[in-house]
Amino acid sequence: MALQFEHTDRFLKETRLYEPDDSTVSRANITAYMRSKGFSTWDELYRWSVANPEEFWSEMARELEWMKPWKTVRRWEPPYVQWFVGAQCNIVHNALDRHMRTPVRNKVAFYWEGEDGARRTLSYADLYQEVNRAASALSKLGITKGDRVIIYLPRIPEQIISMLAVARLGAVHSVVYSAFSAPALRDRINDAQAKAVIACDGYYYQGKLVERKSVVDEALRDNDTVEHVIVVRRTGTDIPWQAGRDVDWAELVASGADRHPVEPVDSEHPLFILYTSGTTGKPKGVVHTHGGYMVGVYTTARFVFDVQPDDIFWCTADPGWVTGHSYIVYGPLINGVTSVFYEGAPTYPDPGRFWSIVQRYGVTIFYTAPTAIRGLMRHGDQWPAQYDLSSLRLLGSVGEPINPEAWVWYREKIGRGQVPIMDTWWQTETGSILITPTPITPLKPGSATRPFLGIEADVVDRSGQPVDANRGGYLVIKQPWPSMMRTIFNDPKRYEVYWNTIPGMYFAGDAAHKDEDGYFWIQGRVDDVISVSGYRLGSMEIESALVGHPAVAEAAVIGKPHPVKGESIKAFVILRKGYDAGEALVSELKQFIRQNIGPIAVPDDIQVVDSLPKTRSGKIMRRLLKAQELGLPIGDVSTLEE
Ligand code: WT7
């Protein structure tokens, strides 16, 4: 990754500080832990944890169950790391089996609510039963340890059940976001060399039926690794069926045994592959493993979200993204907490939907994205005002920087002016939260505050030297942590880039600055990755889809600041001879992107141009297009060809 980012210093200074109240501090899990270690301040605890990361993380790991203990806590052979080396475990044992011997067994694991109002409650025992049956049935279909299974499902209980069933077998799940189109699905199935796909007939979103089965069929044309497509009937509509290959989920699971033993796997055995955008067209298959990931999500859910036995936790993300993996599925379940799981859109049938769900289930901890907060804020204060939100005691934010205005609205209108907000910075690659407050941290609106326990973060220049307070630079992590990705599937070179761009440190791709109190302020990504509604999209992936259209000769895609989505997409295209730059073509191109990637990647604006700025080596200078578009200084143009 080329570091072309120009330092941006801080212009706007946020001076508001929100101290935690005494009752929050006294009941927090982190306070109890701090006392048990004999420390009286966060700073002391933090300093101890980064000076003794192996001690800290192994202490956390010992709270979970392992089938065989580790011999070595950490083996660090840069840039490759192993944690809890020699141990055997299975994350599903800690998420489910372990609870069957405790009162958690009879607690609700998930209150599921469909967009259409359908409801389903699953206790831990129910979920355990479903996962056992599904695992047994999948194993009869030939799925075993190490096999890759694509899960292409919307937010319905079967999405979670199938993730846990696959992991129970020691097989590897790769969840693909349900709104992705056939080509995006196909690329992921092919890259993972998947043996099976778990999908559905369709689902409801914003009141509309979204058909899925024919998308799967199209993605599988010419595929020779997938043996079975397992179809969940969510809508009951008529769908194409390929006898022999296609299997009905309900029938399959009914054929499963009541119990199917959990497969003990090596701590470093892969748990999942999750595709994320990088700077080239091809998505990166980020690989996470059982042992370290399990410890990372358990610890952060416990200390950041402060989950306690009587909490009702709601993370509004989709398990198609990492937030859902870590804080809908694994983190809450390992902690034995009750969660809400909602299928639909935040504004369906009206902008009060989220708040009606908070009220109905008495949600105590609510975790969402800045884009959702800004979107709901726009609809006005009357929506949250109609509901009783007094159950809320902790709020969270993730996906992009939260602007102070939205932060303050979130605290005032959702959090009654008193609920602390955990602005959590992390990535698909980091597996769990790395920079974040805990309930005892004094908060500054717009800052993710400070590194979590055991995490050594800094802001540095190109050579890895720390920059002064309030100076812009690159956000780096200086020590490996348990839940970090282990590699990029089938592409270790792309993994190594994370550790050799700034030698010896993990470079996340984000720009940031640190203030005089050591608080981190994340500024966004330095590379050609666009963050739309908190979802990372590669410029190159959208560009390569655009040039797949017969009318397009060349394309360049940039992100522009957007009041609700964080960033919106603007595309510049050069047309082939013989095509007219009219409205009709522009809407055809938008439709084309919708089909090839999905609705999230559709540009708000497509502009037809005669030329694009390029370097002598032929690389499109998106930075220039962006500067021009936003009226910013053009900066260094020494590499510009014309
Ligand atoms: C990128 C990672 C981690 C789950 C969601 C996205 C941005 C994430 C924050 C935050 C500022 C944030 C970063 C990061 N980001 N959280 N609290 N403040 N920026 O996962 O798709 O892997 O994207 O999201 O730019 O690098 P992802």
Cβ proximity of 14 and 407 under 8 Å: no
pLDDT score of 2:
43
Ligand 1 pocket test: pick from 275, 304, 426, 475 the residue with the most ligand atoms within 8 Å of its Cβ.
426
Distance CA 91, CA 84 (A): 13
Q: Whose CA is nearest to atom 1 of ligand 1?
A: 427
| Positions in the chain short of pLDDT 70 | 1-13, 279-281, 615-619, 635-642
Rounded to an integer, what is the distance from CA 274 to the centroid of its chain? 9
Q: Which amino acid is at 20?
A: P
User: Which secondary structure element, helix H or strand E, spans residue 509, and what is its range?
Assistant: strand 506-514
pLDDT score of 576:
87
Q: Residue 402: name the closest of 626, 564, 510, 514 by CA.
A: 564
- Number of Cβ within 10 Å of residue 363's Cβ equals 24
Q: Residue 213: name the closest of 230, 225, 227 by CA.
A: 230
Q: Whose CA is nearest to atom 6 of ligand 1?
A: 399
Hey, where are the domains in the chain?
Answer: 124-263, 529-630
Distance 187 CA to ligand 1 centre (A): 23
Distance CA 560, CA 126 (A): 46
Which atom of ligand 1 approaches the CA of 522 most closely?
11
Ligand 1 pocket test: pick from 326, 433, 443, 531 the residue with the most ligand atoms within 8 Å of its Cβ.
531
Distance CA 282, CA 369 (A): 26
> What burial letters (b/e) apply to 394-422, b meaning 16+ CB within 10 Å?
bbbbbbbbbbeebbbbbbebbbeeebbbb
Which atom of ligand 1 approaches the CA of 536 most closely?
21
Q: Whose CA is nearest to atom 19 of ligand 1?
A: 400
| 0.75 surpassed by pTM | yes
Which atom of ligand 1 approaches the CA of 322 most closely?
4
Cβ proximity of 267 and 84 under 8 Å: yes
pLDDT score of 617:
62
Q: What are phi and psi of 608, to 5 degrees?
A: -90, 130
Which atom of ligand 1 approaches the CA of 436 most closely?
17
Residues within 6 Å of ligand 1 by CB? 276, 322-323, 398-401, 423-428, 448, 508-510, 522, 524-525, 531, 534, 536
Which single residue is written with the structure tokens 């996340």?
Answer: 508
Which single residue is written with the structure tokens 């989920």?
Answer: 249
Distance 184 CA to ligand 1 centre (A): 21
pLDDT score of 640:
61
Distance 535 CA to ligand 1 centre (A): 8
Which atom of ligand 1 approaches the CA of 433 most closely?
3
Residues contacting 85, CB < 8 A, separation 6+: 70, 71, 72, 73, 74, 75, 267, 268
Distance 99 CA to ligand 1 centre (A): 32
Distance CA 11, CA 467 (A): 16
Instruction: Label residue 40 exposed, middle or buried (CB < 10 Å: 0-12, 13-18, 19+).
Output: exposed
Say if strands 566-575 and 394-397 run parallel, antiparallel, or are unpaired: unpaired
Q: Whose CA is nearest to atom 17 of ligand 1?
A: 425
Distance CA 221, CA 35 (A): 59
Give Dmax (Cα) for the chain. 76
pLDDT score of 638:
56
Q: What's the topology of domain 124-263?
A: Rossmann fold (3.40.50)
Distance 261 CA to ligand 1 centre (A): 36
Q: In a 3-state reduction of DSSP, which class is residue 511? A: strand
Distance CA 166, CA 173 (A): 6
pLDDT digits (tens, 9 = 90+) for 174-224: 999 999 999 999 999 999 999 999 999 999 899 999 999 999 999 999 999
pLDDT digits (tens, 9 = 90+) for 237-262: 999 999 999 999 999 999 999 999 99
Q: Whose CA is nearest to atom 12 of ligand 1?
A: 400
pLDDT score of 618:
66
Distance 125 CA to ligand 1 centre (A): 34
Q: Whose CA is nearest to atom 8 of ligand 1?
A: 399
- Number of Cβ within 10 Å of residue 4's Cβ equals 14
Say if strands 473-477 and 506-514 run parallel, antiparallel, or are unpaired: antiparallel
Which atom of ligand 1 approaches the CA of 425 most closely?
17
C-alpha distances out from residue 439 to 39, 246, 262, 413, 515, Å? 16, 48, 35, 19, 20
Task: Write out the CATH class of domain 529-630.
Answer: alpha beta
Ligand 1 pocket test: pick from 300, 427, 565 the residue with the most ligand atoms within 8 Å of its Cβ.
427
Which single residue is written with the structure tokens 């307070």?
Answer: 469
HEC letters along 234-300: CCCCCCCCCCCCEEEHHHHHHCCCCCCCCCCEECCCEEEEEEECCCCCCCEEEEEEHHHHHHHHHHH
